[in-house]
Amino acid sequence: MAYVATRGGERAIEQSERLFRSDMGRIDQARVAELRHALPYLVDRVMGEASLYDEDLAALALAQTGGELYEVVLLLRAWRTTQPRLSVAAPIQQKDLFTHRRISAAFKDIPGGQVLGPTLDYSHRILATDVLTGTPFVPNNVVPSARAAPAHQPSVSAWQAENELLDLPPVEPVQGNDIPDLTREPLLFPSKRAHTLQSLARAETGGVLALGYSAMRGYGQAHPTVNELRLAEAEVMVKHPRGTSFSAGRVKVSQAEVVSKKGEKLELGFAATLGWNEVKCIAAATLDLNTKGAAKGTATEEEFFLYHTEGVESSGFCIHFKLPHYVTFQSSLDAMRDAKAKKAAKCMEPAQ
Amino acid sequence: MSLKSLTKPWQPMSYGFLDASAKRELRRKMLKSVAVPGCQMPYASREVPMARGWGTGGLQVSLTLLNPQLRVKVIDQGADDSVNAASIRRFLALVSGAPVTLDTLGADLIQSRHRIPEEIMREDQILVLQVPNPEPLRSVQPNMSIARQMHADADYGRMWLQLYEQIVRSGRVMQGAGYPSLVNGRHVMTPSPIPRWDVPKLNMAKHLTILSAGREKRIFAVPPYTRVKPLVFDDVPYRVEDHGGLTCSRSTAKGFFMNEIPQVDGSSTYEVSDSSYGVKTIQKRDGDAVQFGETWYNDGEMTQ
Amino acid sequence: MLTTPVQSPEEAAGNATFDALLWALSRPGMARTLPEPSDSPIIDALIDRECKVHCNDPLLVPQILRSGANQIDIVGADHVFLAVLDDIAALDDVAKGSDLYPDDGATVVLQVTLDRGPRVQLSGPGVDGTLALRIGGLPAGFWQRRAALSRYPMGFDLFLRDGAQVVGIPRSTKVEVL
* Cβ–Cβ gap A177/C49 under 8 Å: yes
Q: Mean pLDDT of all residues in chain C?
A: 96
The count of structural domains within chain A is 2
Q: Same domain, yes or no, for A157 and A287?
A: yes
The minimal CB distance from C15 to the residues B11, B67, B227 is found for B67
SS3 state at B52: coil
Taking CA atoms, what residue in B is nearest to A189?
Answer: B145
Rounded CA gap, C120 and C136, in Å?
10
* Cβ–Cβ gap B34/C170 under 8 Å: yes
Substitution target in C50, C67, C100 with the highest count of A β-carbons within 10 Å is C50
Q: Same domain, yes or no, for A183 and A299?
A: yes
The minimal CB distance from C128 to the residues B33, B208, B225 is found for B225
Give chain A's length: 352
User: What distance in Å separates residue B80's CA from the closest CA in chain A?
Assistant: 7
Chain C residues touching B149 at Cβ < 8 A: 100
The pLDDT of A47-54, averaged and rounded, is: 97
Q: Same domain, yes or no, for A201 and A283?
A: yes
Using the predicted structure, report yes or no on whether residue A2 has a pLDDT greater than 70.
no
User: What distance in Å separates residue B122's CA from the closest CA in chain A?
Assistant: 24
**pLDDT tens per residue across span C99-155:** 999 999 999 999 999 999 999 999 999 999 999 999 999 999 999 999 999 999 999
Residues 6+ apart with CB under 8 A from B8: none
Task: Give the pLDDT of residue A173.
Answer: 84
Amino acid at A317: F
Classify residue A87: in a domain, yes or no.
no
Chain C residues touching A184 at Cβ < 8 A: 50
The pLDDT of B10-17, averaged and rounded, is: 83
DSSP code string of B109-168: EEEEES---SBPPPTT-EEEEE-S---TTTTT---HHHHHHHHHTT--HHHHHHHHHHHH
CA distances from A253 to A35, A53, A97, A110, A160 (A): 20, 10, 9, 21, 23
Angle value at C-alpha B131, between B127 and B134, nearest 5 degrees = 120
A344-348 long-range contacts (CB < 8 A, ≥24 apart) are: A346/B171
The pLDDT of A181-187, averaged and rounded, is: 91
Q: Same domain, yes or no, for A248 and A298?
A: yes
Chain C residues touching B16 at Cβ < 8 A: 5, 7, 11
DSSP code string of chain C: -PPPPPPPHHHHHHHHHHHHHHHHHHSTT--EE-SSSSSHHHHHHH-STT-EEEE--TTTHHHHHHHTPEE--STT-SEEEES----GGGGGGS-B--SS-GGGBPEEEEE-EEEEEEEEEEESTT-SSEEEEEEESSPTTHHHHHHHH--TTS--EEEEEETTEEEEE-TT-EEEE-
Taking CA atoms, what residue in C is nearest to A179?
Answer: C50
Q: Same domain, yes or no, for B39 and B77?
A: yes
> Which among B229, B249, B279 is the end of a domain?
B229
Q: Same domain, yes or no, for A264 and A115?
A: yes
The minimal CB distance from C45 to the residues B24, B34, B153 is found for B24
**pLDDT tens per residue across span B58-70:** 999 999 999 999 9
Task: Give the pLDDT of residue A5.
Answer: 44
Task: Give the pLDDT of residue A1.
Answer: 39
Task: Give the pLDDT of residue A240.
Answer: 84
Give chain C's length: 178
Q: Which domain holds residue B128?
A: 20-134+189-229
Task: Give the pLDDT of residue A6.
Answer: 47
Residues 6+ apart with CB under 8 A from A45: A69, A205, A275, A277, A280
Sheet with C52-55, strands from edge to edge, namely C32-33, C165-169, C157-162, C107-111, C79-82, C52-55, C70-71
Q: Same domain, yes or no, for B296 and B196?
A: no
Task: Give the pLDDT of residue B197.
Answer: 98
Rounded CA gap, A248 and A240, in Å?
10
Using the predicted structure, report yes or no on whether residue A76 has a pLDDT greater than 90.
yes
B149-157 long-range contacts (CB < 8 A, ≥24 apart) are: B149/C100, B151/B39, B151/B40, B151/B187, B151/B188, B152/C98, B152/C99, B152/C100, B153/C99, B154/B186, B154/B187, B156/B188, B156/B231
User: What distance in Å separates residue B264's CA from the closest CA in chain C?
Assistant: 44
Using the predicted structure, report yes or no on whether residue A34 has a pLDDT greater than 80.
yes
CA distances from A334 to A325, A328, A330, B244, B258 (A): 14, 10, 6, 12, 11
What phi and psi values does residue C45 have, to the nearest 5 degrees? -80, -30
Q: What is the pLDDT confidence band of residue A4, given thresholds at 50, 70 and 90?
A: very low
Classify residue A332: in a domain, yes or no.
no
Chain C residues touching A185 at Cβ < 8 A: 50
Taking CA atoms, what residue in A is nearest to C48?
Answer: A184
* Cβ–Cβ gap A185/C50 under 8 Å: yes
Chain A residues touching B146 at Cβ < 8 A: 296
Rounded CA gap, B92 and A212, in Å?
40
Using the predicted structure, report yes or no on whether residue A350 has a pLDDT greater than 70.
no
Q: What is the CATH number of the domain that holds C26?
A: 3.40.50.11310
* Cβ–Cβ gap B31/C98 under 8 Å: no
**pLDDT tens per residue across span A236-291:** 999 887 889 999 999 999 999 999 998 899 999 999 999 999 999 999 999 999 99
The count of structural domains within chain B is 2
**pLDDT tens per residue across span A88-147:** 899 899 999 999 999 999 999 998 899 999 999 999 999 999 999 999 999 999 999 898
Taking CA atoms, what residue in C is nearest to B90?
Answer: C4
The minimal CB distance from C126 to the residues B66, B187, B224 is found for B224
Taking CA atoms, what residue in B is nearest to C47?
Answer: B24
Q: Which domain holds residue A104?
A: 94-119+148-169+179-314
Q: Mean pLDDT of all residues in chain A?
A: 92
Q: Which domain holds residue C42?
A: 9-177
Residues 6+ apart with CB under 8 A from B267: none
Amino acid at A141: N
Q: What is the CATH number of the domain that holds B80?
A: 3.40.50.11310
User: What distance in Å separates residue C76's CA from the closest CA in chain A?
Assistant: 15
Q: Same domain, yes or no, for B206 and B268?
A: no
Using the predicted structure, report yes or no on whether residue B257 has a pLDDT greater than 50.
yes
Q: Same domain, yes or no, for B75 and B224?
A: yes
Task: Give the pLDDT of residue B2.
Answer: 57
Is the CB of residue C109 less than 8 Å from the CB of residue C80?
Answer: yes
C130 shares contact with chain B (CB less than 8 Å): no
Chain C residues touching A177 at Cβ < 8 A: 49, 68
Is the CB of residue B112 less than 8 Å from the CB of residue B76?
Answer: yes
Chain A residues touching C49 at Cβ < 8 A: 177
Taking CA atoms, what residue in A is nearest to C52?
Answer: A178
Q: What is the pLDDT confidence band of residue A348, given thresholds at 50, 70 and 90?
A: confident
Q: Same domain, yes or no, for A100 and A37?
A: no
Task: Give the pLDDT of residue A3.
Answer: 39
Among B179, B190, B158, B154, residue whose Cα is nearest residue B57: B190
Task: Give the pLDDT of residue B12.
Answer: 73
List all chains that touch chain A, counting a touch as 3 or more CB pairs closer than 8 Å. Answer: B, C
* Cβ–Cβ gap A183/B273 under 8 Å: no
* Cβ–Cβ gap B52/A5 under 8 Å: no
Q: Same domain, yes or no, for A155 and A248?
A: yes
Task: Give the pLDDT of residue C86.
Answer: 87
Classify residue B159: in a domain, yes or no.
no
* Cβ–Cβ gap B48/A81 under 8 Å: yes
Higher pLDDT among residues C5 and A347, named by residue = C5
Among A264, A267, A271, residue whose Cα is nearest residue A294: A267
The count of structural domains within chain C is 1
* Cβ–Cβ gap C5/B186 under 8 Å: no
Task: Give the pLDDT of residue B7.
Answer: 62
Chain A residues touching B53 at Cβ < 8 A: 313, 316-320
Substitution target in A87, A175, A177 with the highest count of C β-carbons within 10 Å is A177
